[in-house]
Structure 1
Amino acid sequence: MADVSSSTNTTPTTTVRPGRFKEFWRYFRENRGAVIGFYVFIFFLIVAIFAPLISPFEPSTQNRGATLVPPAWQDGGSWTYPLGTDPLGRDMLSRLIYGARYSFLVGTIVVILAATGGILTGLIAGFAPRWLDTIIMRIMDIILSIPSLLLALVLVAILGPSLLNAMIAIAIVLQPHYVRLTRAAVMTELSKDYVVSARVAGAKLPRLMFVTVLPNCLAPIIVQAALSFSNAILDVAALGFLGMGAQPPTPEWGTMLAESREFILRAWWVVTFPGVAILTTVLAINLMGDGLRDALDPKLKRS
């Protein structure tokens, strides 16, 4: 009798698919600028989290005998104040370190507020009857037709100048981007088979919106969140520079620029370092956003 064990014990070969994170990181690291931006972002995040431990001085501590001291490598400088001091004798390095904390706080809160409101509104517009969808999108178009900084200034003028009101105003300004993006993604997903199957199976509207459709719309929203983070930092710095954002003596980068602009010819460091901090942070986040887009958009992936 023939031995059939050899023919029945064959194991089919299977292709093991890498985990989602490994796959994401493989595509993300192909963009070297994005990887550099990611590491710079992590560096600033660590500085912001551990600011009380890293900072050599309290950000509001004044030394009237050491006003406008230049950086340590310049004539007249001191290693006590490596990046110099401002017109009130406050350590520039300490204020920059604490400024990172305020910038990341602003970016995080603005993105949470704008994304939450925008995603909910976009989902409603995508599932709503045509007349309600039209009303919502026309309101968003009106908001987008107004220059963002001008609208933020008007809102802060109504609410009152403060860092909290500046964050609320910027979140309102950025919200239409999430609404349009979410609505477009929802409209694309609604025609797909898995949504039709869920409808036929009797899925209720809340489950259809938040469990079935929303998870498949998150990729472009994540990219938008990264870009909104950098826009929030820029806008709050602009409002601070105009005196409508964080108020002195808050060590916010835009406010630091506003306090020191009259000394730009006498003490270049009081304006240069906050400006470089804003530039570096925003550039790093934008580069990281490009990498997120390349890694999350299936149309841009290369096999």
Structure 2
Amino acid sequence: MALSSILPKGSWDSHLHIIDTTRFFQTPDSGNSTPVVAGVWENVAFESSINCTNVVIVQPTRYGLDNSAALQALTAYGPKRARAVVQFDPDTITPYQLQTWHDLGVRGVRLNFANNNNPTSNTPPEKMPQLLQRYADLIRPYGWAIQMVIYMEKLAPLTTVIPTLGVKVVIDHFAHSRLPDNASSAGEVDPYSITGFDTLVQLLEEGNTWVKISAPYRLTTDDDPEHKSLDPLIRELLRIDSTKAVFGTDWPHTDYEGIDIRPWVKHLADLTSENKTVQQRVFQDNARTLYDAY
């Protein structure tokens, strides 16, 4: 399926992982035992099939704080075509290391509050504001973003904190919205009926929060390859602020290996095609702003 005539020139895939279990050692507690070879070569082939020339490489959970795979891929792509999001321990990181990564093209740190195998996943809710503040203080001099994996219904305690951090914050995968089990057969879902959606909207309206329109298969329970049950969420998020939504594929779709994301990519392109300004924001401009890619 060639999408070269649909996606805007210079499109960005703002969420992918470089994983090669034959070359890079996984953390023992990663919970991922399936062999995966999804390196730069494989990613270039995939991105070419959807006409994305630029990428944001996101540190996957299975590698913990070892960013070797992501950084090697970033070097291979080069800073004109790629950015990366890393993970690090705030107790041991140094300004020298942050500056070195910044010079390579790193533009964010990822905090995972949803995966049990991640160092930050066991952070008690009352400790999350303090942890966010620590990371924000470290990355603020470099203009980086905090990228969060968090369930939408857990966002409420952070609404008074995120706007004060002084850094950009992006929330992965629709903030892991929990659609009703019968969403595909119940007609259009009212986004505001989903616990936490109003909180996400509040954060978007504050101005320093972005949301990734990515990994639709992690939210839906139907077999629709276009994941149309998510359309009401997408439309409302873009209505609220089309400058705060970025597109990502979540390639190579860990735990969902073999899925073909391209029908959804085409559907998303069609969904946004009525307003070319919005379409260009979703597929290009917003990622460039979020990850300082100019």
Q: Indicate the TM-score class for this superposition, using the shorter chain for normalisation.
A: under 0.3
Asked which structure has the greater CA Rg, the reply is: 1
- Counting helix residues as a fraction of each chain, which structure ranks higher? 1
Higher relative contact order (CA 8 A, sep 6+): 1
Structure 1 or 2: more strand by fraction: 2
